[in-house]
């Protein structure tokens, strides 16, 4: 039969060039459909002599099978290619490591600073700040600390290096937050009610002392404030802070910047080696305080004949450890997450300003 090879070659080329299934279906109909080219040739077999039919029949059948097979193969290839495309587009690498999530917690000192700031804010205390590198005058002289006072010695205080030829007293890393009293009064005058939380530095390093720690200073100056107001403020503070009624006790003491001066103890007891604050008849020292010395008021430009008030200074790290039962300074300096979590600090556990303290 003539032309079968050309017919075949034509179809095989077009099949291999087909872009999609619709194109393949068109080719199938054109070749093998009822009126397709191959089918029409099949019909011609009837008119042939038996001799001719003997060769043309198998040739046509082979042609039909070949085209059919080529169509199926191309169809499968197109489906494979489509699947490949999809797999490429939707590729998901299950071996990728997970995305890291920030897993920090709030630092105990930050949390306690926020807590105490909120409590004092409720009593009308604003937050005042001062520099950590302080002048000799603000850190010592203005606070009536005499030149021979032990705090001014090299082994207690970090003194800053001086430029050659600079004869001024060297600056210091502030040894307490008390200089903020001077700065706040110089800036705002009286009456004033501020707290000043922040970092302080001393040459001290053992189980319970670090060369950098945190204090909060309190200062209230008005016309007729007394030690009674101081005691009330402190008892309000400790009761709100520890969440139980806490009694306080004054013990006579001495600070250059207050007169009279008192150390303040809070009520506590030990039950089976466990500290209980606000219970029992034990006492624990937590802060220094007193009536602001007239010389301190005068150094800050406040007239001591017109104004008087109280001040106090307390260690934040210390009361954080007491409140959360943290036995040593590791939680503060290593900031090991497991350690902090053990003591119940989490990123979500932030205090709110008004009464909503989280514990």
Residue located via tokens 């071996």? 95
195 touches ligand DAH (CB under 6 A): no
Q: How many residues bind ligand DAH (CB under 6 A)?
A: 12
105 touches ligand DAH (CB under 6 A): no
> Do the bridges between strand 126-127 and strand 192-201 make them parallel or antiparallel, or are there none, so unpaired?
parallel
317 touches ligand DAH (CB under 6 A): no
Please report how close the Cβ of residue 93 comes to ligand DAH at its closest, in angstroms.
58
113, 157, 178, 308: which one binds ligand DAH (CB under 6 A): 178
Residue located via tokens 């039962």? 325
176 touches ligand DAH (CB under 6 A): yes
Burial class (CB in 10 A: 0-12, 13-18, 19+), 276: middle
Q: Is 212 helix (H, G, I), strand (E, B) or coil?
A: strand
**CB-CB neighbours of 170 under 10 Å:** 13
312 touches ligand DAH (CB under 6 A): yes
Per-residue x/- marks for ligand DAH, 82-101, CB under 6 A?
Answer: --------------------
Please report how close the Cβ of residue 289 comes to ligand DAH at its closest, in angstroms.
5
- The whole-angstrom separation of Cα 56 and Cα 236 is 113
308 touches ligand DAH (CB under 6 A): no
The region of 7-15, 76-84, 153-161, 307-315 touching ligand DAH under the rule CB under 6 A is: 307-315
- The whole-angstrom separation of Cα 291 and Cα 326 is 32
258 touches ligand DAH (CB under 6 A): yes
For helices 108-122 and 316-324, what crossing angle results, to 10°?
100
Distances 41 to 20, 45, 46, 48 between C-alpha atoms, Å: 27, 7, 10, 11
Q: Which of residues 199-228 bind ligand DAH (CB under 6 A)?
A: 217
The region of 34-42, 97-105, 221-229, 255-263 touching ligand DAH under the rule CB under 6 A is: 255-263
Question: Please, which residues bridge with residue 313 across strands?
Answer: 217, 288
Q: Give the CB-nearest residue to ligand DAH.
A: 313
Please report how close the Cβ of residue 176 comes to ligand DAH at its closest, in angstroms.
3
113, 144, 289, 308: which one binds ligand DAH (CB under 6 A): 289
The region of 16-24, 50-58, 270-278, 310-318 touching ligand DAH under the rule CB under 6 A is: 310-318
179, 198, 313, 351: which one binds ligand DAH (CB under 6 A): 313
- Judged by CB, which is closer to ligand DAH: 241, or 312? 312
Residue located via tokens 């939380």? 197
Sorted by sequence, the CB contacts under 8 Å of residue 295 that are 6+ apart come out as 144, 304
32, 192, 311, 316: which one binds ligand DAH (CB under 6 A): 311
Are the CB atoms for 311 and 219 separated by under 8 Å? yes
Q: What is the 3-state secondary structure (H, E, C) of 303-322?
A: CCCCCEEEEEEEEHHHHHHH
Please report how close the Cβ of residue 331 comes to ligand DAH at its closest, in angstroms.
23
Write out the residues near ligand DAH by the rule CB under 6 A: 176, 178, 217, 255, 257-258, 288-290, 311-313
């Amino acid at each position: 039969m003539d032309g079968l090879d050309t017919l075949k070659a034509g179809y095989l080329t077009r099949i291999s060039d087909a872009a999609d299934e619709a194109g393949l279906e068109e080719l199938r109909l054109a070749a093998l459909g009822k009126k397709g080219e191959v089918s029409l040739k099949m019909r011609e077999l009837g008119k042939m002599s038996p001799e001719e039919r003997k060769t043309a029949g198998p040739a046509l059948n082979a042609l039909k099978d070949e085209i059919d097979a080529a169509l199926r193969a191309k169809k499968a290839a197109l489906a494979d290619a489509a699947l490949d495309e999809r797999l490429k587009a939707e590729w998901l690498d299950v071996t990728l490591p997970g995305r890291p999530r920030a897993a920090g917690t709030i630092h105990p000192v930050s949390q306690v600073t926020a807590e105490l700031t909120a409590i004092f804010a409720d009593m009308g205390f604003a937050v005042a700040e001062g520099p950590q590198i302080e002048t000799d005058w603000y850190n010592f002289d203005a606070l009536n600390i005499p030149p021979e006072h032990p705090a001014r010695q090299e082994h207690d205080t970090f003194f800053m290096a001086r430029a050659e030829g600079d004869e001024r007293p060297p600056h210091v890393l502030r040894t307490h937050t008390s200089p903020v009293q001077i700065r706040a009064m110089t800036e705002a005058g009286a009456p004033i009610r501020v707290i000043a939380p922040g970092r302080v530095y001393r040459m001290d390093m053992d189980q319970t002392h670090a060369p950098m720690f945190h204090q909060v200073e309190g200062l209230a100056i008005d016309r007729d404030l007394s030690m009674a107001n101081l005691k009330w403020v402190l008892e309000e503070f400790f009761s709100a802070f520890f969440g139980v009624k806490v009694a306080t006790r004054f013990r006579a003491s001495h600070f250059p910047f207050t007169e009279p001066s008192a150390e303040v103890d809070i009520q506590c007891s030990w039950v089976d080696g466990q500290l209980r604050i606000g219970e029992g008849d034990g006492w624990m020292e937590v802060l220094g305080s007193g009536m602001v010395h007239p010389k301190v008021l005068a150094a800050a430009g406040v007239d001591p004949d017109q104004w008087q008030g109280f001040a106090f200074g307390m260690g934040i790290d210390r009361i954080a450890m007491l409140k959360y039962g943290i036995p040593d300074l590791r939680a503060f300096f290593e900031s090991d997450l497991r350690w902090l979590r053990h003591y119940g600090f989490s990123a979500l556990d932030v205090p709110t300003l008004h009464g909503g303290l989280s514990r």
